[in-house]
Structure 1
Amino acid sequence: MQTTISRLENGLTVASTHMPDAHSVALGVWIKAGARDESEGQNGVAHFLEHMAFKGTRNRDAAHIAREVEDVGGFMNAHTSREETAYYINLLPEHLELGVEILSDILTASTLPKHEIERERGVIIQEIGQSLDTPDDLVFELFNKACFGDHTLGQSILGTQQTVSSFGQQELKGFMDRFYGSNQMIVCAAGLLKHEEFVVLVGERFSGLSISAVPDRSMPVWQGGDSRADRDLEQTHTVFGFSAPGITTAQRYDMLVLANLYGGGMSSRLFQKVREDRGLCYSIFAFAQMMSDTGVFGVYAGTSEETANEMLKVCAAELTDCLSNIQADELLRSKQQLKASVLMRLDSVSATMDSLGRHIALFGKAQNKDQLIRSIEAVSIDSLSILIAKIIAGRPAMAAVGPVSAVMNVTDLSDLFSS
């Protein structure tokens, strides 16, 4: 397995990982702009634009795009996150040229047809409605708001019905023209391919791109809020968390190891103490959400209103205990799980391509498996203790959906970590 990175004359980054035993190719385009980079009043425009990418170009209509990829057994999709937007296609190696052609067409020749905008507007409004009707989706939307308030990191990636209803060609094209430039894009691939041939194909199709703006991101201020939606549900869905280091810091691996040890797999502390020992919930997990300049370390759980406070007390007690009582065997187990995850992803062309694009977008270079393994192995009991002390010294944020009147507030939750 060999990774090679090239840069075209127009500033476009082209990267590929040759996987000689693969039987397919995954290729994609990463744009270093996402929902965080939307202007005021345009919440949801990055996601709307992602939906519109496959809806028509100067050379193909929406049906033609879909058929052309699926006629050769391919699969295409896209996603929008806080700080990136990605478009990708999986297909057989002999159809690599077609994949590059389709991706270049939807990103350099999109016509954003008005009738497709209206149709997709309805689809996205339905998506927003479904999210609002899904408690374990809604609680994370409320939690982001409790963490970051009116900052764009606190807004829904989907947008609101009001903002989505207002977007037209001008707003969509404006976001694309502003950020979809050669300096903001990474075209990457993984699988059975030759880098030199890939670079030639990309150069032929993307040579017309020019430089675009680089997102001017403001640092969010942690709010430590408490956001709730009282709903007539069987369960109370709860999320709490703390301000934490971002993904570009040296502590990112400590974050991952801690999240896994504290609330990752079935052997984690939360699974054992909250679910297995006390039977307080069916679903509980810890997560490390990391952006370029900030992060969140948190916990989600679904439980009854009557047991929610006990569950929160156990969560607080276990995280506090990790300050001084992490055992060598549980640390080793957590690191082994993460190392296995890194190595298992290498068997997938999609996962390899995804990691390649994301690493270059964040760090400006690819990270090989040996570097990743060494970084995970370097995490120690002492480094985790330093991270935990830093995290719980701040005020938490929390959100709850369901029967919530009896659930403790964020001030009471904060007291659990300071007592």
Structure 2
Amino acid sequence: MNVRTTTLSNGMTVVTETMQHLESAVLGVWVRSGSRNENPDEHGIAHLLEHMAFKGTRRRTARQIAEEIENVGGEVNAATSTETTSYHARVLKDDVPLAIDILADILTSSTFDAGELEREKNVILQEIGAANDTPDDVVFDRFAEAAYRDQTIGRPILGTPTTVKSFTPDQLRGYLKCHYTGDRIVVVAAGAVDHDQFVKMVEDAFGDMIAPTNAALPELTEARYTGGEYREMRDLMDAQVLIGFEGRAYQARDFYASQVLANILGGGMSSRLFQEVREKRGLCYSVYAFHWGFSDTGMFGIHAATGQEDLGSLMPVIFDELSKVADHVDVSEINRSRAQTRAALLMSQESPSARASQIARQMLLFGRPVSNAELMERLDAITPDRLTDLAGRLFFETPLTVSAVGPVTPLMDGDTMKAALSGSRRMQTAAE
């Protein structure tokens, strides 16, 4: 692993992976601050700030930012998540200095012009409206809200029309000053880049970003998984349904085991849910399992999209599969999941975008790059007994979360689901 790390005097961490065979590089700035870090009156400000960063600086207009990067054939983008915000660019190797200059400019010299702010608020209001018109967006947003009731970790990243309309340029400046400090930032580059040269460019561009004591930062409340239920009747052709349980945090012992369990249950066409629910019974056109990790919690979920007439038959079949995986996991299933993970890791080595994002996540979560060999060692330690024990604890000892949107009248309520799931477990145990 050709990864090098340097910490600057202002607290920023700079990491590179040189990929000699490439003519391009992906570089970005990852900030340990996302929607979860917002105060109650700041809901949506992290996402709005990400948008406003491209709307003009003291040196460049919004149009000049776009034109300068595209004049050299590059691209620039950004994203806000629950716990991080990222700004990244892809350029040819000779244009890395330009990309660094633009990223530093938008993060240290944005003007937050009032006129631009009002226009961008309108854009985000349209984005919120579009998300509310998209059932598979709504079902996931409400899923998180039900799982983490009345907590910032469960709120939609976009904010609400009321909060978005309320923000001022001074609020944006205050949030930026409070959260975008050197000790909370990782700058990563992968591809055709020289580490020492890149460090010098970052140091020159971001030298004014000082790491303060962070005394003004709001205290991050530990996540508390509650479970809960949300359902919304809509006149649609299909129903979007999510059921979930408390998962594992990134640092937890069972994090990677949870990822493997999700893969075995519903991670591909050979997975149990896909084969039993879709292929054998034809009860839905889409079904999969997933595991989300956060810094101090996680969520294990199953998503299905199906017609109203199949809802009544769908859930008992899913519950049976959850009971079965808590009873038995075959070594061949674990080996298949390991092979899929190994292939994904090796394929990511061929993509500078994938590597930059992967390294940034590892630095923010673990404080160091994690080698593929170390990841595979962790996967190799996973046994069938460990997975069945984990499944039993996940599915039968944590509160259930249910989210459903569409023609969901035939869907049993959360308490009935929990009872049906427990009954399925008892039947499976009795059959042993």
Q: TM > 0.5 between the two?
A: yes
In the TM superposition, what is the alpha-carbon distance from 1:309 to its structure 2 partner?
Answer: 2.9
> After superposition, where does 1:147-296 map in structure 2 within 5 Å?
147-212=147-212, 213=214, 216-296=219-299
Counterparts of 1:366 and 1:187, CA distance in 2: 13
- Alignment-derived partner of residue 397 in structure 1: 401
Specify the SS of the correspondent of 1:175: helix
- Alignment-derived partner of residue 140 in structure 1: 140
Report % sequence identity: 40
Q: Deviations over 1:347-396 (max 9, x none)?
A: 00000000111110111001111111222222211221222122111121
Matched, 1:84 2:87: no
Counterparts of 1:174 and 1:308, CA distance in 2: 48
Q: Is the 8 A contact 2:38 2:152 kept in 1?
A: yes
Q: Is the 8 A contact 2:39 2:218 kept in 1?
A: no
> After superposition, where does 1:375-414 map in structure 2 within 5 Å?
375-392=378-395, 393-414=397-418
Counterparts of 1:140 and 1:286, CA distance in 2: 13
- Alignment-derived partner of residue 73 in structure 1: 73
User: Please, which moves more after superposition, 257-266 or 368-377?
Assistant: 368-377
Counterparts of 2:386 and 2:318, CA distance in 1: 21
User: Please, which moves more after superposition, 131-140 or 314-323?
Assistant: 314-323
- Alignment-derived partner of residue 22 in structure 1: 22
Q: Is the 8 A contact 1:36 1:153 kept in 2?
A: yes
In the TM superposition, what is the alpha-carbon distance from 1:306 to its structure 2 partner?
Answer: 2.3
Q: Is the 8 A contact 1:33 1:215 kept in 2?
A: no
Q: Is the 8 A contact 2:27 2:90 kept in 1?
A: yes
In structure 2, relative to structure 1, the CA distance for the partners of 1:90 and 1:294 (3 Å cut) is same
In the TM superposition, what is the alpha-carbon distance from 1:78 to its structure 2 partner?
Answer: 0.5
Counterparts of 2:79 and 2:58, CA distance in 1: 23
Q: Is the 8 A contact 1:339 1:376 kept in 2?
A: no
- Alignment-derived partner of residue 112 in structure 1: 112
Counterparts of 2:167 and 2:310, CA distance in 1: 44
Counterparts of 1:326 and 1:385, CA distance in 2: 7
Counterparts of 1:237 and 1:335, CA distance in 2: 30
Q: Deviations over 1:106-135 (max 9, x none)?
A: 001111111111111111000000000000
Q: Deviations over 1:394-419 (max 9, x none)?
A: 12111100012221111111113322
In the TM superposition, what is the alpha-carbon distance from 1:220 to its structure 2 partner?
Answer: 2.4
Counterpart selection for 1:372 from 370, 375, 380: 375
Scaled by the length of structure 1, the TM-score of the pair is: 0.98
Amino acid at match of 1:78: A
Counterparts of 2:100 and 2:134, CA distance in 1: 37
Specify the SS of the correspondent of 1:41: helix
- Alignment-derived partner of residue 421 in structure 2: 417
Considering only aligned residues, what root-mean-square deviation do their CA atoms show, in Å? Answer: 1.1
- What 5-or-longer segments of structure 1 have no aligned partner? none
In structure 2, relative to structure 1, the CA distance for the partners of 1:258 and 1:9 (3 Å cut) is same
Q: Deviations over 1:176-218 (max 9, x none)?
A: 1110000010011000111000000001011111114366221
Counterparts of 2:294 and 2:379, CA distance in 1: 19
Number of residues paired by the alignment? 419
Counterparts of 1:387 and 1:219, CA distance in 2: 23
Amino acid at match of 2:85: T
Q: Is the 8 A contact 1:179 1:215 kept in 2?
A: no
Counterpart selection for 2:349 from 340, 346, 349: 346
Q: Is the 8 A contact 2:26 2:189 kept in 1?
A: yes
Counterpart selection for 2:340 from 329, 337, 346: 337
In the TM superposition, what is the alpha-carbon distance from 1:23 to its structure 2 partner?
Answer: 2.0
Counterparts of 2:111 and 2:97, CA distance in 1: 22
Counterparts of 1:195 and 1:309, CA distance in 2: 58
Amino acid at match of 1:62: A
Amino acid at match of 1:47: H
User: Post-superposition, which runs of at least 4 consecutive aligned residues in structure 1 deviate over 3 A?
Assistant: none
In structure 2, relative to structure 1, the CA distance for the partners of 1:215 and 1:377 (3 Å cut) is farther
In the TM superposition, what is the alpha-carbon distance from 1:222 to its structure 2 partner?
Answer: 2.1
Q: Deviations over 1:61-92 (max 9, x none)?
A: 10000000000010110000000000000000
Q: Deviations over 1:142-173 (max 9, x none)?
A: 11111011100121100011111111112211
Amino acid at match of 2:297: T
